[in-house]
Amino acid sequence: MSVELPFQISIPDSKLDLLRQKLALTEFPDELENTGWNYEEAKLNQDLPQFTKDIDVNGFETLNIHYVHQKSSLANAIPLLFVHGWPGSFIEVRKILPLLVQSSPQFPAFHVVALSLPGFGFSEGAHKPGFAPEQYAEVAHNLMLSLGYHEYVTQGGDWGYLITRIIAHKYGGKHSKAWHTNFPLATPLNFSVNPILFLQHLFTPYTAAEKAGIERSKRFEKEGQGYFHEQSTKPQTLGYSLADSPVGLLAWIYEKLATWTDSYPWTDDEVLTWVTIFYFSRAGPAASIRIYYEFIHSANGSQPSSFEPTIPLGVSHFPEELRITPRKFVHSVGNLVFQVEHSTGGHFAAYECPDELVDDLREMFGKQGPAFGVVPGKNGYEQRIRANL
């Protein structure tokens, strides 16, 4: 049994000094000089109860994992694992956390675990090659078990989508009971694989939103995938720039923050906090992008369809997501029981549209919802005391 240790972000002054030294060599010192990191660090530590724990991974070294963990005041709240992506981090749980743990007769409450994926935030990164999405899934699942959550549900976008899909496939039924995603990547329908869906799709006209989404997806494919290609083939080469240049790292990440969101009004400090987590991450900024390489080179790389989960799936569509999956395709992602379309919001749904995302989860897992009571004994509501007859 590995020991849970409380964790506070605490970047040493020597590292801050080195960062300032590098920034002083660039041409825009004024904006970045007063990063106010110490203030942001304190706020993060205040808002997000954090811990670390050693987690075993089959075939790899034990990894010390950093995570946010907050229990609801309601004892039988639904255990929920939140999995971020790239260039995200545990910070993406920040706004939904206080809402999810809330207890009310109107909606279910959740106990929330938001891990830093290995190589991100303050989690250790793997040192051996071959640490692929399946391993990330194993870490996340083992973390839930080690916290006593043998049955749980998940929410994820970006890499969190694939990782929670793998969790749903490998640990679904027994452990993972339902999964929700805002990034339902689906491969185009194939007549021989899903004949009914294929025909339904053929005869269902695209909505205006789907058409716009398809255009957006095409543009992303044409103009927006350079980072994916480089990160999945030469992450080390790129990594030298990201590790050595805070300005380079800032540009690399900020480009995504701006273009992948739906006109989200990022403040400079928000952006800098987000990027600083990468800059001061435990494994260094070059580590996080290795997941792309390992994914492409893994046995199941580029074939998410080899994972076929059967547990209930909920999907929230946000219009400025990178790839839009037409409605009929979504059925091929999993056992779709819940689907909502929003009119605003982008890739970082939990951060951009926390209220909408939480509403969706409350609806999916709520008393009238299709996944109500999916975790036995933990339906997220106050237990009603029945009088003994």
Partner 1 sequence: MSNSFKIAVSSTALSALKSRIESATFPDELDDAGWAYGVPLADMKRLVARWRDGFDWRQEEQKLNNELPQFTRDIEVDGFGSLNVHYVYKKSDRGTGIPLLFVHGWPGSFLESRKIIPLLTKGSGDSQCPVFDVVAISLPGFGFSEAPKKKGFSLSQYVEVSHKLMIALGYTEYVTQGGDLGSRVTAGIARRYGGMHSKAWHTNVLFSMPPENDDPSSYTASEKEGLARWQEFQRSGSGYFQLHSTKPQTLGYSLADSPVGLLAWIYEKLVSWSDNYPWTDDEVLTWVSIYWFSRAGPAASIRFYYEVAHSGQALGTKSSPPTIPMGCSLFPKELIRIPKSWYPGVGDVVFEAEHDKGGHFAAHEQPELLVGDLRKMFGKGGPVYGVVTGRDGYN
- Of the candidates 69, 158, 175, 279, the residue annotated as catalytic is 158
Nearest approach in angstroms of CB 261 to partner 1 is: 16
**By CB under 8 A, which span of 22-30, 142-150, 304-312, 324-332 interacts with partner 1?**
22-30
Active site residue 292: yes
- Residues numbered 210-229 forming contacts with partner 1, rule: CB under 8 A: 222-227, 229
Alpha helices per DSSP H over 64-158: 96-100, 133-146
Residues 76-135 that bind partner 1 (CB under 8 A): 125-129
Q: Which of 175, 331, 342, 347 is catalytic?
A: 347
SS3 310: coil
User: How many Å apart are CA 89 and CA 342, to the nearest integer?
Assistant: 23
Q: Which of residues 276-335 bind partner 1 (CB under 8 A)?
A: 283-287, 290, 293
Q: Answer yes or no whether residue 274 interacts with partner 1 by CB under 8 A.
A: no
Determine which residue in the list 103, 187, 241, 298 makes contact with partner 1, applying CB under 8 A. Answer: 241
In the residue annotation, 158 being an active-site residue is answered as yes
Using an 8 Å Cβ cutoff, are 330 and 165 in contact? no
Q: Tell whether residue 13 is a contact of partner 1 (CB under 8 A).
A: no
Per-residue tokens: 67: 């995570």
- Amino acid letter for position 341: E
d(CA 110, CA 78): 4
Q: Tell me, what amino acid is at 325? A: T
Interhelix angle for 159-170 vs 133-146, to 10°? Answer: 70
Cβ of residue 290: shortest distance to partner 1, in angstroms? Answer: 7
Distance separating alpha carbons of residues 355 and 95, to the nearest angstrom: 9
Distances (CA, A) of 36 to 41, 46, 233, 278: 9, 16, 36, 16
User: Does 252 help bind partner 1 (rule: CB under 8 A)?
Assistant: yes
Q: 72 or 231, CB closer to partner 1?
A: 231
Exactly one of 42, 212, 247, 336 binds partner 1 (CB under 8 A); that residue is: 247
- Determine the Cα–Cα distance for residues 182 and 164; give it in Å rounded to an integer: 11
Among the options 161, 292, 293, 381, which is catalytic? 292
360 is catalytic: no
The answer to whether 293 touches 119, Cβ cutoff 8 Å, is no
| Residues near partner 1 (CB under 8 A) | 18, 21-22, 25-26, 125-129, 222-227, 229-245, 247-252, 255, 283-287, 290, 293
Task: Just list the catalytic residues.
Answer: 158, 292, 347
